[in-house]
Structure 1
Amino acid sequence: MGEQFELHSVVEMKKPHPCGVNKWQIIRMGMDIRIKCLGCSHSVMLPRKEFSKKMKRIIDTD
């Protein structure tokens, strides 16, 4: 993979959230990664391996 994401990075996932927005912000990192939808503020926790598979690209790193 080679892509480096960090805390508070904004990422685009392969599938959009049901609210219609496809931008997510990383709000917690560890064994699992918690991401928050930037449209409706819903948060989801994914295992790191699953997150890496579902992430399309990094939009912004803060």
Structure 2
Amino acid sequence: MIKEYELGTVVQMKKQHPCGSYQWEVTRLGADIKIKCLGCERIVMLPRSKFEKDAKKVIEQK
């Protein structure tokens, strides 16, 4: 579980996206967190609790 992230942070998620990528960029913060897949540019919104549980590690801080 990670807690140190902000806009533009690239994180690795536990599960692989169908396009094959594990890396996502945080594009919106709030009660829900919007992340963009760096493999196929798909955008997904997750509740903060699910994001914190599923995010494995921080790849790059901006």
TM-score by length of 2: 0.94
Alignment CA distance shift 1:2-1:27 (3 Å): closer
Alignment CA distance shift 1:29-1:55 (3 Å): same
Q: Which residue of 2 aligns with 1:31?
A: 31
Supply the AA of the counterpart residue of 1:45: M
Q: Which residue of 2 aligns with 1:4?
A: 4
Gaps of 5+ in 1: none
Cα shift readout 1:5-61 (whole Å, capped 9, x = no counterpart): 111000000001000011000000011000000010001000000100000000000
Gaps of 5+ in 2: none
Alignment length, in residue pairs?
Answer: 62
Alignment CA distance shift 1:59-1:2 (3 Å): closer
Identity over aligned pairs, percent: 52
Q: Which runs of 4+ in 1 moved over 6 A?
A: none
Q: Looking at both structures, which has the greater relative contact order when contacts are Cα pairs under 8 Å and sequence separation is at least 6?
A: 2
Report the Cα distance in structure 2 between the residues aligned to 1:15 and 1:44, rounded to whole angstroms.
14
Q: CA deviation at 1:2?
A: 6.3
